[in-house]
Structure 1
Amino acid sequence: MPVTLDVDDRSVATLLLDRPRKRNALDREMLESLLDATGRLAGRTDVRAVVVRGAGGTFCAGADIGDWVAPSAPLAAELSKLGRDAFAAVAALDVPSVALIEGTAIGGGFELALACDLRIAAGDALIGFPELRLGNLPAWGGLARLIDVAGLGTARHLLLTGELIDGVRAAALGAVTAVAADGDLSAELSRVVDCFTACEPAALALAKQVLSGFDSDLPLEPAMASYTAGLDSSRRRKQDFLDRQAARKIGVSS
């Protein structure tokens, strides 16, 4: 399975994005696997916290561009809904969740991190929304969640410029909640988990319900993302991206 679920002896569950050769890019199978794994977590009384992380030294490089080069309108809408449903399931977990960000968390990867309650990033991690450079818009609820955690000004900057920022700057802007500038993510994660496990589980679950009442929503986001995915200019940009990726691989192997 491209997303695995493990629960350790501290009652901490880990959702591992396990597609390292693609930098954990999210294709249909991975989104379905994430939705399935999150569904198996829902309602479990033996889990106190959830960690979402990526295999191979990177969190998630975003949506698999191959799925979005030339999707039909129904397929684009279907993929938008699948991603939104999967990330909404992460956000709706009764227990607190933490995204452990190293490498990259861009595009859909950043949206997944934003679906978690907290985000711990390495200082040199790259974070942002480069979708406009590929002719697309975020599709999976991340823009509204970024507005919630970092404000409209930060959301405007990251979306409209497509700039990728490091973990230190992301923490300064409020896009991540903690940064491990020395790269020791495990120590910061352990500290946060200790805070979670010191709390009363029922009170934590109720606190999450209370806070969910303040969540923003951008109802036009999936429709606009599906529309832009079908534009010829958008398809050309994504195909050009894939062509450049392929050329780099040939250059490395020759």
Structure 2
Amino acid sequence: MPVTVSVDPDGVALLLLDRAAKRNALDIAMVESLRDAVAQIAVRDDVRVVLVRGAGGTFCAGADIADWVSPSHDVAERNSRLGQDAFGALAALPVPSVAIIEGGAYGGGLELALACDLRIAAADATLGLPELGLGNLPSWGGTSRLVDVAGLGVARHLLLSGELISGARAAELLVVTSAHPAAELDVAVKETTTRLLGAEPTAVRLAKEFLAGARTTLTGEDALAGYTACLDSSRRRKQDFLDRKAAARAAKAASTSPTEGTAS
């Protein structure tokens, strides 16, 4: 399964994005697996804290662009709603959730991190919302969550500019809760988890319910994402992105191939 769940004796659930070969990019099958994994956690009485992490040293490279090159309008809207439902279910869990961000959290990956209650990042991680450069809008609830977390000014800057920022800068802008040297990331996660486990579970559930009522809601996000995904200019930009990636992989493979006649 591309998303797995494990629970330790203390009630800490690890929700692992396990598609390292693709830097944990979220294709539709992976979003469905994420939704199902969250549903598993939701019915367990022994889970007290949820950690969300990516395998292979990268949190999540975002939505798999291959799914968004040429979808029909209906498919694009459906995919948008699927992500919103999966991320919304994560946000609605009655226990606190923590995104552990290392490597990169781009586009849908940052949206996933924003669906968690807290975000702990490596200082050298990279975060951003590059969707507009590919002709799309964020479609999985990230825009409204970013406004809630960091304010409208920060949301405007990251969305409109597409700038990728470091984990350290993200902490300054309140996009992440804290940032730490990579070697100290696991210690910081452990300290935060210990504090979360010390809270009374019923009080935590009620606090989350209360805070959910204060969330900003931006209507029409799935419809707008569906519209932009079907624009010819949007499709060309995403196809160009995939072509550049393929060319880079081919060039890398060619440069690392043994030269004919070279002794092994």
Query: So what's the TM-score if we normalise by structure 1?
Result: 0.99
1:95-106 equivalence runs, <5 A: 95-106=95-106
Give 1:182 shift.
4.5
Give 1:103 shift.
0.5
Give 1:185 shift.
1.3
Q: Which has the larger radius of gyration?
A: 2
Give 1:183 shift.
3.6
Verify the 8 A CA contact 2:106 2:130 in the aligned structure 1.
yes
Deviation per residue, 1:147-174 (Å, 9 max, x gap)? 0010000000000000000000000000
1:4-153 equivalence runs, <5 A: 4-153=4-153
**Hey, what's the Cα distance between the residues in 2 that align with 1:222 and 1:29?**
18
User: Which stretch of structure 1 is more off in the superposition, 177-186 or 238-247?
Assistant: 177-186
The answer for unaligned runs of 5 or more in structure 1 is none
User: Which stretch of structure 1 is more off in the superposition, 179-188 or 12-21?
Assistant: 179-188
Tell me the secondary structure at the aligned position of residue 120 of structure 1: strand
Deviation per residue, 1:30-57 (Å, 9 max, x gap)? 0000000100111321111000000010
Deviation per residue, 1:154-204 (Å, 9 max, x gap)? 000000000000000000000000111344211111111111111111111
**Hey, what's the Cα distance between the residues in 1 that align with 2:44 and 2:207?**
17
User: Which stretch of structure 1 is more off in the superposition, 184-193 or 144-153?
Assistant: 184-193
Verify the 8 A CA contact 1:96 1:196 in the aligned structure 2.
yes
Alignment correspondent of 1:226: 226
Structure 1: which 4+ aligned runs deviate by more than 6 Å?
none
**Hey, what's the Cα distance between the residues in 1 that align with 2:23 and 2:182?**
22
Counterpart residue identity of residue 170, structure 1: A
The answer for unaligned runs of 5 or more in structure 2 is 255-264
**Hey, what's the Cα distance between the residues in 2 that align with 1:132 and 1:182?**
30
Give 1:220 shift.
1.9
Tell me the secondary structure at the aligned position of residue 105 of structure 1: strand
Alignment correspondent of 1:3: 3
Query: So what's the TM-score if we normalise by structure 2?
Result: 0.95
1:208-227 equivalence runs, <5 A: 208-227=208-227
User: Which stretch of structure 1 is more off in the superposition, 174-183 or 90-99?
Assistant: 174-183
Root mean square deviation, CA, Å: 0.7
**Hey, what's the Cα distance between the residues in 2 that align with 1:216 and 1:68?**
27
Verify the 8 A CA contact 1:43 1:94 in the aligned structure 2.
no
**Hey, what's the Cα distance between the residues in 2 that align with 1:181 and 1:156?**
28
Counterpart residue identity of residue 144, structure 2: A
Tell me the secondary structure at the aligned position of residue 53 of structure 2: strand
